[in-house]
Amino acid sequence: MTERESAAFTYGSYLKVDELLALQQPRSDEHDEILFIIIHQVYELWFREVLHELDRVVRLLDSADREAGARAQHSLKRVLTILKVLVAQVDILETMTPLEFLTFRDRLAAASGFQSDQFRQVEFMLGLKSRAAITRFDEGTRARIGLEARWAAPTIWDAFLHYLKREGYEVPEDQLTRDVTAPIEPSPGVQEVLVRIYRTDPRNSELCERLVDLDEGIQEWRYRHIKMVERTIGRKPGTGGSSGAEYLKSTLSRPAFPDLWEIRASF
C-alpha cells in the first residue's frame, strides 16, 4: 500500500460504513421497522460468521492435524458464544409490541425468516437437510449454490465420526460411509463408542460436550424465537405461509446429534 493509499484508508472505508448504512431500507415510515430490519441483518451477519467457523470445525475434524480436537473445540467455543448473543438478541425485538409490529407487518408480504438460506445452511451442517429448502431458491443464486454445496458435503457429525476413527475408536463402518444427505439416525454402535469416551477419555468427552452445547444452543434459539412469535403474533399464520408458532414447535425437539442425547440414560 502506498503512503497516499494508506492515508485514505480509514475505519469507514475498511468497513464500508456508508454502504452498510445504505442497506436498511424500510418499506414504511413506521418507527419500529428499522429495528426489525437491523435485527435480521445482524442475524444474517452472525450466521455468516457461524458458517465460517463451522466450516473450520469440519475441515479440522477431517484433517490429519494431531491437535484437530483441541482446535475444533476452540472454534466451537466461538460459535457457542455467538449463539448466546443470537439468543440474547431476541430480547431486543421483544420490546416491540404486537401493535407496533402490526403497523408495518403487511409490508413484509411473503417475506419471512423461513427463507433465510444461511439459517438452512447452518441446519444442513448439523445434518438437518431438506431438498425443499434448496429448490425454494432460483438456480445460480448465491443461496442455491451455497445450499447445493452443503447438501452434498459431510455434516459436522460425519467429520466427527471420522475424527473418532482416527483417534483409534471402532466407529461402525456403516456410519463412516453413510449417505451424508440422509438424516442422522441413532446408532447403538456409535453410542457404545461415546459411552467409552465419556468414561475413559476426558479430552474427547469435552469435544462431545461442545457438540451437545451446539445442538442445545440451536434448540434454545428455536425456543426463544417461538416465544417471540407467540407474544408478537399469537396463533396467527406466518408471513412465510406456515401455520406460525404451531409449525415452529414441530421443529423444536429434533436433536441434531441423537446419539449424544441417547447415551445420557446409560450412565
Q: Which residues bind ligand HEM (CB under 6 A)?
A: 39-40, 43, 93, 101, 112-114, 116, 119, 225, 228-229, 232-233, 238-242, 244, 247-248, 251
**Minimum CB–partner distance for residue 65 and ligand HEM (Å):** 33
Q: Smaller CB distance to ligand HEM: residue 64 or 109?
A: 109
**Minimum CB–partner distance for residue 92 and ligand HEM (Å):** 9
Q: Smaller CB distance to ligand HEM: residue 212 or 228?
A: 228
Q: Smaller CB distance to ligand HEM: residue 103 or 112?
A: 112
241 CB contacts (<8 Å, ≥6 apart)?
Answer: 110, 112, 114
In a 3-state reduction of DSSP, which class is residue 235? coil
**Minimum CB–partner distance for residue 251 and ligand HEM (Å):** 4
Reduce the secondary structure of 140-186 to three states and give it as a string.
CCHHHHHHHHHHHCCCHHHHHHHHHHHCCCCCCHHHHCCCCCCCCCC
- Is 232 within 8 Å of 101 (Cβ atoms)? yes
Sequence-distant contacts of 208-213: CB under 8 A, at least 24 apart: 208/260, 210/73, 210/76, 210/77, 210/80, 211/76, 211/156, 211/157, 211/160, 211/257, 211/260, 212/257, 212/260, 212/261, 213/76, 213/80
Task: Measure the CA–CA gap between 157 and 216, rounded to whole angstroms.
Answer: 15
In a 3-state reduction of DSSP, which class is residue 65? coil
**Minimum CB–partner distance for residue 82 and ligand HEM (Å):** 13
**Minimum CB–partner distance for residue 78 and ligand HEM (Å):** 19
Helix and strand element counts for the chain (H, E) = 15, 0
Helix (H) or strand (E) holding 120: helix 117-125
**Helices 68-93/156-166 angle, 10° precision:** 160
Q: How far apart are the first and last CA of the chain?
A: 60
**Minimum CB–partner distance for residue 230 and ligand HEM (Å):** 9
Q: Smaller CB distance to ligand HEM: residue 113 or 172?
A: 113
Q: Smaller CB distance to ligand HEM: residue 63 or 219?
A: 219
- Is 211 within 8 Å of 156 (Cβ atoms)? yes
**Minimum CB–partner distance for residue 45 and ligand HEM (Å):** 10
Q: Smaller CB distance to ligand HEM: residue 146 or 244?
A: 244
